Amino acid sequence: MGATAVTSAGPDDAQAALDRVLTGPGAIWVVHGPPGSGRGTVLSGLAQRGRRSGAAVLSVPAGPEPETVLLRLTTQLVELITALDRPELVSMLSAVAWLRTRLESGSGAGPQTTAHDLVTVLATLAPRGRIVLQFDDFDLLPPGIATVLTLVAEGTRATGTVTVATVTGRDRREGPVGKLFSIADGTIGLRPLTVAETTALLPGWTTRAGRIASDPALVTAVRAALGPLFGNPGTVGATIAGLRATGRLSVIDEHVCLTGAGTPIVLPDGHAETLRLRRLGPRARRLAAIIAVLSEQAAPTLEKLPWLVSAAALAPSTAGQALDDLVRAGILRTGPDGAVEFVVPALADKLRLEHGARWRTVLHRRIVRERRPADPVEIAPHLAELPPSPPDPATAGLLLEAAASESTDLPAARRYRRAALRLLDPSDDRFPETLRALLADSLAAGGYGTLADDLATVVAPRLADAEPSARLSATVLLCWLGALAHEQRLAELDVVRPLAAEVARALDTARECRRLLDAVNRADRPVAAEAVRALARACGAEDDRLFAVGAGILLGSLPGDGGRPAEEWLASTEMPPHEDVAEAAEVLDTVSVLNVLLRGRYQPPSTGFSVDWHAVRQAYREGEWDTALSLARRLEGDRLWWDPPRRHRFASVFAAEICAQRGRPDRAADWLRRLPFRTSADAYAAWVRCRLHQSEGRHDEAVERGWRDYTDCRERGVRAGMERLLSRLLYGARRQGDTETVTRLLAELENLATRCPTASVQEAALVCGGLVRGDMESVRAGVKLARQSGDVFRIAEACTAFGEVSPVPAPSLLEAHRTLKRLDAVAELASVSALLDQHRIAFSPDRTDRTDRAALDPLERHIVGLIASGHTNRQIAAALQVSEKRIEARLTSLFERTGSHSRVELAAAWLQGRLGTAAVPAES
């Protein structure tokens, strides 16, 4: 018979086809597709829509026990008959009970008789309402059962029953599957779901109502863990359910976020991948578990297969066959360099968790036993994974030899030296040298959080039994304090006090050590610098590079005047102030500060609290506001996972500002509520609150409350964000025509610029002062500072001010409008749009014309840049030392080639990058 075929169908296509089936006569449809194409999701959606339409849906998937499918079908028939509660159907209950007894006993009739009995029951029930039969994974059923269901589907079609079955492939045309295809009225060939389609389905799994968006970081993490299975809705849904059950999903800022980012995401129990691995037998499972454990550090290669086989207690031929089976089953794959890795990372993580720490220790110990004697580089990864043992100088020597090898990378060398420290007696001559090397490796690798943990758990207990040099102990103290300060873990300062007491005793510097700890606890950098200087003199470490790096990280991580460091460990006195360092220090962006102040001696971490906040700030400044919000949510979501819990106050403030600018006051207020009471971020918080009040039309309250917050912060010595608060208050008062308040705020801002002449304060004073006085050159200088800062929102604000005072406002206002439109900053965008309307400047971001194809020579680019800066033809001719007629001729040519009709349109095309690299305004 001619069957309808729907090919390469997505979820919407399949749903539309099956919806038509529900409203038509009885039919048989087969849904086929590769793993990950969402066959189960198609059936579950059909079941929901069928039940809403009043149909009785009998769903019997193959599941882990396919031999019980017929029993499960009879159970659902009993439930359906009972729910109908019709006296004439009592006989059907008896018939189903008799059939069930035969099935349970395994005796009685064959497939034909069983199918006949089922068809009789279903035909009797069909007049009472539409019945839908669903057989998921039909091709995984035993042949006898599949034959029965094929006969049932064919026999009940005439009674109006709809049967929908799914199969994993489309090429199997033999046996019952082939018979089902031959009698089907239609087939749907599914393609794997795209990332966008799977992402669109996530809200339905993350929350009950399915109306809360998923944070991009959650999508990225689940996608990385599941690999090719991310397109499988059933897998993704079960994985999300597992995350919900373990408390790892949390709603933050109206987004479902993943918490505990360092904890692996594993496949759900009973998943098809784990069942497939189980069917391959115990040898394949054992080999897969070994590869999962060994791939924690690096994927093992085929070259290591012989000794992996030995460790697994397998014969070489058996292991080779097991590896082939794993690759053929799609569980493992080999790369071009011979590396063996899991296709689905979440399966490897599941195997690691299932086998536990003890099994892994036994495995590493067995490999060490099998491989000794061997190349230290080859055996060190396994020695480093063994638990602590009594001093073992020989094993420590192997680890140190491997750490010194040129083929060992920095993180591995650090692991080997940490393991060696556990095995060395503190009296061993190699102990001090290894300890210094561990400190140097950790700092060079950016492992500040790990270094703090290692010093607390590995080094400190060993130092208590040793008598290291006072200089080494002081260096360890400085590196430890620096690591804690860098990761904002100064709440753990008490753990360091015993070592500080030991250093004080050895150097007779009790007063200096006490001052150092107290200053670090208070975040008082000048006093801490004096104590560090005294400690360096006492132990003779003035020229010790490692001591200097530790001191630099400590002092640079404490709040202070980041623009003018006087400490010799941070920067030499001839180093000019960096425009960004002062502001970065104020907002506790340790990574930005140390990148400048340690100039090549500092390695930023790849993970951790400080680098996460640095990423939030950088994304905000670069205009990647969606990324900044996602990163801020991750910081907040991981807050309780940190030990002790940590919240970054400035991350919450910047997230609140983004929400306020985007017209989401409820979300902004929620971020502000997360802030603790009275912090160094209070001026920034008042800056956001001012925007919220202005957006709600409460302008008088905005000025009154904002000024009160400013004076409170000034009295408490809060520095961060004061110029931003004053600028926003001034802009609001100016829009309301409150000249007296504008004058008072400008005087305060200029006074602040005198007291704290940092780049951000100078910028605010220049822009606001020029705006109030109509001084275009002052605003131009402020725009230049804003561009140097790299903060796109500040650039847009400065360009808006320049457009208000410039006789040629179009270029700057168009740039501001384009930037704010990209940021979706609707609050400021409304003001800029009003200015564009006031000056009758048209803006069409979707316009495409000949400017996209225009190629300008250097002279033409210079001319257009000067036009965008507001120069007249005469001024351009004087600047280029050519005649004014030549400039007019060039402009006529430019208008024709670019399709522009005016100087404003030509400048706008230049600013929007359609004529080359913009340089607007040239002196701004």
pLDDT of res. 153? 95
860 compared with 563, residue with greater pLDDT? 860
pLDDT band at 851 (very low <50, low <70, confident <90, very high): very low
Measure the CA–CA gap between 641 and 286, rounded to whole angstroms: 33
Question: Are 323 and 250 within one domain?
Answer: no
* pLDDT grade for 848, boundaries at 50, 70 and 90: very low
Q: Which of these ranges, 184-193, 228-237, 736-745, has the smallest mean pLDDT?
A: 228-237
Q: Residue 846: what pLDDT?
A: 46
Residue 72 CA to residue 55 CA, distance in Å, equals: 19
SS3 9: strand
CA distance 215 to 632: 11
Q: How many CA atoms lie within 13 A of 687 on its CB side?
A: 24
Residue 172, pLDDT score: 56
Q: Strands 332-334 and 340-342, how do they pair?
A: antiparallel
Q: What is the pLDDT averaged over residues 119-136?
A: 92
Q: How far apart are the first and last CA of the chain?
A: 76
Q: Could you tell me the two tokens for 221?
A: 């993490």
254 and 322 together in one domain: no
Residue 532 and residue 478 in contact, taking contact as beta carbons nearer than 8 Å: yes
Task: Read off the pLDDT band of 752 (50, 70, 90).
Answer: very high
**191-205, 380-394, 448-462, 726-740, range with the lowest pLDDT:** 191-205
CB atoms within 10 A of CB 554: 27
Q: Average of pLDDT values for 677-695?
A: 91
What local confidence, expressed as pLDDT, does residue 919 receive? 37
Residue 96, Cβ neighbours under 10 Å: how many? Answer: 21
pLDDT value of residue 311: 66
Q: What is the pLDDT of residue 66?
A: 84
Distance CA 280, CA 667 (A): 51
Domains: count for the chain: 6
550 occurs within a structural domain: yes
Q: Are residues 99 and 203 in the same domain?
A: no
pLDDT attached to residue 131: 95
**What mean pLDDT is predicted for residues 308-325?**
77
Return the CATH number at 276: 1.10.10
Same domain, 569 and 640: no
- The verdict on 588 and 626 lying in the same domain is no
The answer to whether residue 616 is domain-embedded is yes
Q: Does one domain contain both 529 and 577?
A: yes
Instruction: Establish if 222 belongs to a structural domain.
Output: yes
**Residue 409, in any domain of the structure:** no
- 140 near 272, Cβ under 8 Å? no
Q: What does the pLDDT look like over 287-307, one tens digit per residue?
A: 899 889 888 877 777 777 776
What is the rounded CA–CA span in Å between residue 729 and residue 772? 13
- Does residue 107 carry a pLDDT above 90? no
Binned at pLDDT 50, 70 and 90, residue 1 comes out as very low
Give the other-Cβ count within 10 Å of 538's Cβ.
Answer: 19
- At 793 the pLDDT is 94
Q: pLDDT tens digit string along 427-437?
A: 888 999 999 99
Boundaries of domain holding 41? 4-190
CA–CA separation, 288 and 455 (whole Å): 35
- Mean pLDDT throughout 546-555? 91
Is 47 inside a domain boundary? Answer: yes
- How do 255-258 and 162-167 pair as beta strands? unpaired
What's the pLDDT band for 647 if we cut at 50, 70, 90?
A: low
Least confidently predicted of 331-335, 393-397, 602-606, 898-902: 898-902
Which of 140, 1, 148 lies closest to 71, judged by CA? 148
Q: What is the CATH number of the domain that holds 47?
A: 3.40.50.300
User: 373 preceded by cis ω (within 30°)?
Assistant: yes
Question: What is the spatial distance between Cα 286 and Cα 319, in angstroms, rounded to a whole number?
Answer: 10
Tens digit of pLDDT for each residue in 331-377? 998 877 788 889 999 999 999 999 888 888 888 888 888 776 778 88
Same domain, 119 and 159: yes
For residues 286 and 172, membership in a common domain is answered with no
Rounded CA-CA distance 444/411 in Å is: 9
3-state secondary structure of 341: strand
Kindly state whether residues 34 and 158 are assigned to the same domain: yes
205 and 250 fall within a common domain: yes
Q: What is the pLDDT of residue 707?
A: 95
Q: How far apart are CA 704 and CA 561, in angstroms?
A: 30
Whether residues 159 and 80 share a domain: the answer is yes
Question: Which pLDDT value is given to residue 70?
Answer: 92
Q: What is the mean pLDDT of residues 217-234?
A: 88
Q: Specify whether 146 is located in the same domain as 204.
A: no
Answer whether residue 901 is part of any domain.
yes
Give the CATH number for residue 870: 1.10.10.10
Domain boundary (661, 677, 693) is at 677
Amino acid letter, 78: V
Q: What is the mean pLDDT of the chain?
A: 85
Structure tokens at 821: 């439109």
Q: Residue 915's pLDDT is what?
A: 66
Percent of the chain clearing pLDDT 90 (strictly above)? 40
Residue 124 placed within a domain: yes
CA atoms within 13 A on the CB side of 287: 32
Distance between CA atoms of residues 885 and 882, nearest Å:
8
pLDDT at 13: 86
pLDDT digits (tens, 9 = 90+) for 399-449: 999 999 998 989 899 999 999 999 998 888 899 999 999 999 999 999 999
Does 246 map to a domain? yes
Beta pairing, strands 131-135 & 56-59 = parallel
Using only the alpha carbons of the chain, give its radius of gyration: 36
pLDDT digits (tens, 9 = 90+) for 7-34: 888 878 888 899 999 988 999 999 998 7
Rounded Cα–Cα distance for residues 624 and 130 (Å): 53
Region 368-395: mean pLDDT is: 84
